[in-house]
Homo-oligomer: A and B are copies of this chain.
């Protein structure tokens, strides 16, 4: 499924055939079965990972054993733990597959090499990072200003399609509320 990644980068920037080949030469294809881990808490994350098919979640587990979902990533998105990658430190996060998933991985050394060698690749990566940062800012803003119901409505309007493929329990966790609260909200909003 490398073609999906190929198509993605060609939409974002221009590459010569030689550059495309260079990029592909570093790509590692990885498949995950549903529930399989991509990263476990305590391990150091070493890749830049792009999803070509499927869906993963990034979450932490607290002292009481409850899970807190930090993010979902589906096809045409990136995943991983940037903090662990950058600091070369053990990750606080777990990442596992919600569905059978296919990814394209690059070791971070190779990824940085590509950034240095290919200006348009570097520029693309930078743009993606900026967008990720903006999305994170918006999520913070939402968590400060919205009620539980507004958070849910905001979520489904921002990510239509997610609600149908991700269990409600996980969505509730992502939104910072209990599954019971989400269930009641859904009942409420369905009426309207």
Contacts and interface: CB of A to CB of B under 8 A. Distances in A.
Contact of A144 (B70, B130, B131, B133): B70
Interface stretch (A7-15, A134-142, A158-166): A134-142
A68 interface: yes
A60 interface: yes
A188 interface: no
**How many chain copies?**
2
Interface string A73-113: 00000000011001000001000000000000000000000
B126 A62 contact: no
* Minimum-distance CB pairs A-B, first 9: A136-B136, A83-B134, A133-B133, A144-B176, A143-B143, A68-B144, A68-B145, A129-B129, A139-B140
B86 A130 contact: yes
A167 to B, nearest CB: 17
A141 B122 CA distance: 28
A6 interface: no
Contacts of A137: 70, 82-83, 136
A137 B136 CA distance: 7
A132 interface: yes
B145 A62 contact: yes
Given A86-B134, A134-B86, A143 B145 contact: no
